[in-house]
Amino acid sequence: MAEPALTFRDLTLGYHDHPAVHHLNGTVKQGSLTAIVGSNGSGKSTLMKGIVGVLKPMAGQSVVVSGATVAYLPQQSELDRSFPARVIDLISMGLWPKRGLLGRFTSEDKARVKQALMGVGLEGFEGRTLDTLSGGQLQRALFARVLVQDADIILLDEPFNAIDARTVRDLVALIKRWHGEDRTVLVVAHDLDLVRDNFPETLLLARRPVAWGATTEVLTPENLLKARRFDEAWHDDAPWCEPMHGQAHDHGVGHEGHVHAGHDHDHHSHGPRAA
Amino acid sequence: MYDFFIAPFVEFGFMQRALAGSLMLALSSCPVGVFLMLRRMSLAGDAMAHAILPGAAVGFLLYGLEIIPMTVGGLIAGVIVAMGAGAVSRFTIQKEDASMAAFYLISLALGVMIVSLRGSSVDLMHVLFGTVLALNDEALRLIASIAAVTLLTLAVFWRALVAECLDPLFLRSVSRLGTPVHFIFLGLVVLNLVGGFQALGTLLSVGLMMLPAAAARFWTNRVWTMCLLALAIGFAACVAGLLISYHAALPSGPAIILSAGAAYLFSIITGPRGVLRARINRHRHRTA
């Protein structure tokens, strides 16, 4: 079997001593299409940031299979829409992995940008500035940027938020096309019906993985109840999460045969707190 | 006509130097101002200008009114404040506006304290407001080098700067340049403020950086065009300011900045993205 596209080894990510993703173990198969589901604050966006390397782990690691490229679509709110850029400029940013800081855009590159623009149904919008786009149009443009990136692993953080039904349908079709091209796709989503209909695999997060596997087996009423019950709050007086003891490590939802062994913390003094 | 516009620059060496110095300064600092504005850091430029003071003051205390020591001192103080404020905002919960304010206030107080240790208010006025009409060869060479470094750096890092302004998280996902480019940019801001303080003083050099950029924003929606337009406005302000200063016997630094200020007010009112256009079209709309 092919190497997994992504491997999480005892991965803990968080902010200010508090974990948002706690001791995650498991792998994501190459060419799989996975939805990441969970309440607000359950660690979905944090996990994406950890995978792409924007957020450094507090413990453990997230490993991308060697040679694979990653495209990451953050939530829309991270973008400065008042910046004087055109749709075409935004989409051309997707050429960065190929051209970097100084490489000239070739006519082939430009053709690819144009093709992406058409692929998301934004012909005629190339010269429009970002502040004149609707939420759905901006999301289409951002998907076009992902298209241009042409990556092996694609991470989409809440791409369907505040997007109308028609646009969602078009974007889901695009995601399925990527899946058909054997790319590994992870999508943070809230709409469970949409997930059931379109995503073969699901990771249900509540800071720790509640369930991970085939969507039909993950999105059961019991699992969803378990996920809803998770405690969203931080506790300033939560005990420090020490390795080797107690319940901190009994979470192993062994996925793809990876079972957490419970060792190898190298930062006891500033480790994450047990939530 | 000739007497008014050309003669002062042909007949007087100090006017030629003032013109050369201020034009080079505009060439270098106007594009920096555009990015500063687009990053919503317009006031950070002002803060940085204050931050330079203690360094310049130390140079002044040790060596008197010499350009190199004061410049180097200003550069060191500016870099410490920029890096300190930048690091606090990148690595703690505090945003850059607060950390910048904190650092520059400490720096400014320190600067005033140092100047008052030795020297009169006349010296302080010189550091704060500069003298564009007294630029020597050394100062001109310094400004020329700063302009060269700035333009070269902007050209090299252009793509990263734009990406960092527009979608910083995306840049960090495809490149490690995100954080370095922020600090390189802050370095350019300091460099240009230091370059400007001999000519315009620490306070006014910010004016030449920000006012043309702010004015250009009302005319165009492209970063590249905005930089060129800011340059043109900066050049015009330098020429106009020097002429006004010469003919009306007014201080040259404030005359240059006020000229840029006039361009700004004019742009607010008449620019395609200004108030007049918005008023005229208020009750009209297209069909689609």
pTM of the shown model = 0.84
Pairing relationship of beta strands A6-15 and A59-64 according to DSSP bridges: antiparallel
Q: Which of A101, A105, A109, A143 would you mutate first to test chain B, the one with the most B CBs within 10 A?
A: A101
Per-residue pLDDT of chain A (275 residues), as tens digits, is: 578 999 999 999 988 878 888 889 999 999 999 999 998 888 999 999 999 988 999 989 999 998 899 999 988 667 888 899 999 999 999 999 889 889 889 999 999 999 999 999 999 998 999 989 998 999 999 999 999 999 999 999 999 988 899 999 999 999 999 999 999 999 999 999 999 999 999 999 988 889 999 999 999 999 998 888 876 666 777 778 776 544 444 444 444 433 333 334 434 434 344 44
What are the pLDDT digits (tens) for B100-150?
889 989 988 888 888 777 666 666 666 667 777 778 888 899 999 999 999
Question: Does A89 sit within 8 Å of B169, measured CB to CB?
Answer: no
CATH code at A44? 3.40.50.300
How many other CB atoms are there within 10 angstroms of residue B11's CB atom? 10
The structure tokens 């060792």 sit at A263
- Residue A24 Cα distances to A20, A107, A260, B116, angstroms: 11, 44, 9, 60
What chain A residue is nearest to B167 in terms of C-alpha separation? A79
Domain around A246: 6-267
In a domain? residue A189: yes
pLDDT at position B119 is: 63
Indicate the average pLDDT of chain B: 88
B247 CB contacts (<8 Å, ≥6 apart)?
A: B4, B8
- Residue B237 Cα distances to B22, B243, B253, B269, angstroms: 9, 10, 11, 18
Going by C-alpha positions, the residue among B56, B47, B46, B82 that lies closest to residue B211 is B46
Spatial separation of the C-alpha atoms in residues A218 and A195, rounded to whole Å: 11
In a domain? residue A254: yes
Question: Does B166 sit within 8 Å of A93, measured CB to CB?
Answer: yes
Question: Does B167 sit within 8 Å of A96, measured CB to CB?
Answer: no
Domain coordinates in residue numbering, chain B: 2-206
A145 CB neighbours in chain B (<8 A) are 170
Question: Does A129 sit within 8 Å of B173, measured CB to CB?
Answer: no
What are the pLDDT digits (tens) for B221-274?
899 999 999 999 999 999 999 999 999 998 888 899 999 999 999 999 999 888
Structural domains counted in chain A: 1
Question: Does B221 sit within 8 Å of A129, measured CB to CB?
Answer: yes
Q: Residues 53-112, chain B: which have Cβ within 8 Å of A?
A: 93
Question: Does A101 sit within 8 Å of B177, measured CB to CB?
Answer: yes
Is A104's Cβ below 8 Å from some Cβ in B? no
CA A114 to chain centre: 26
Q: Give the fold, CATH level 3, of B2-206.
A: ABC transporter involved in vitamin B12 uptake, BtuC (1.10.3470)
What chain B residue is nearest to A69 in terms of C-alpha separation? B174
Spatial separation of the C-alpha atoms in residues B174 and A96, rounded to whole Å: 7
Question: Does B170 sit within 8 Å of A74, measured CB to CB?
Answer: yes
The amino acid at A174: L
Question: Does A97 sit within 8 Å of B174, measured CB to CB?
Answer: yes
CA B257 to chain A, closest CA, distance in angstroms equals: 26
Identify which of B156, B162, B220 has the shortest CB distance to residue A102.
Answer: B156
pLDDT at position B276 is: 85
Is A80's Cβ below 8 Å from some Cβ in B? yes
Is A68's Cβ below 8 Å from some Cβ in B? no
In a domain? residue A1: no
B274 vs B217: which has the higher pLDDT = B217
| Averaged pLDDT for residues B81-105 | 86
Residue B181 has pLDDT above 80, yes or no: yes
What chain A residue is nearest to B179 in terms of C-alpha separation? A54
How many other CB atoms are there within 10 angstroms of residue B163's CB atom? 25
The amino acid at B9: F
A100 CB neighbours in chain B (<8 A) are 175
In a domain? residue A274: no
B198 vs A70: which has the higher pLDDT = A70
Spatial separation of the C-alpha atoms in residues A173 and A89, rounded to whole Å: 24
CA B27 to chain A, closest CA, distance in angstroms equals: 21
Q: Residues 218-247, chain B: which have Cβ within 8 Å of A?
A: 220-223, 226
In a domain? residue A88: yes
- Do residues B48 and B193 make contact, with C-beta atoms less than 8 angstroms apart? yes
Is A89's Cβ below 8 Å from some Cβ in B? yes
pLDDT band at B211 (very low <50, low <70, confident <90, very high): very high
Q: Which of A46, A64, A80, A145 would you mutate first to test chain B, the one with the most B CBs within 10 A?
A: A80
b/e string for A34-63 if b means 16 or more Cβ within 10 A? Answer: bbbbbbebbbbbbbbbbbbebbebbbbebb
pLDDT at position A9 is: 93
Identify which of A16, A52, A101 has the shortest CB distance to residue B159.
Answer: A101
pLDDT at position B164 is: 92
Identify which of A78, A84, A101 has the shortest CB distance to residue B167.
Answer: A78
Spatial separation of the C-alpha atoms in residues A45 and A42, rounded to whole Å: 9
The amino acid at A172: V
| Beta bridge pairs of residue A37 | A204
Secondary structure of residue B101 in the 3-state scheme: helix
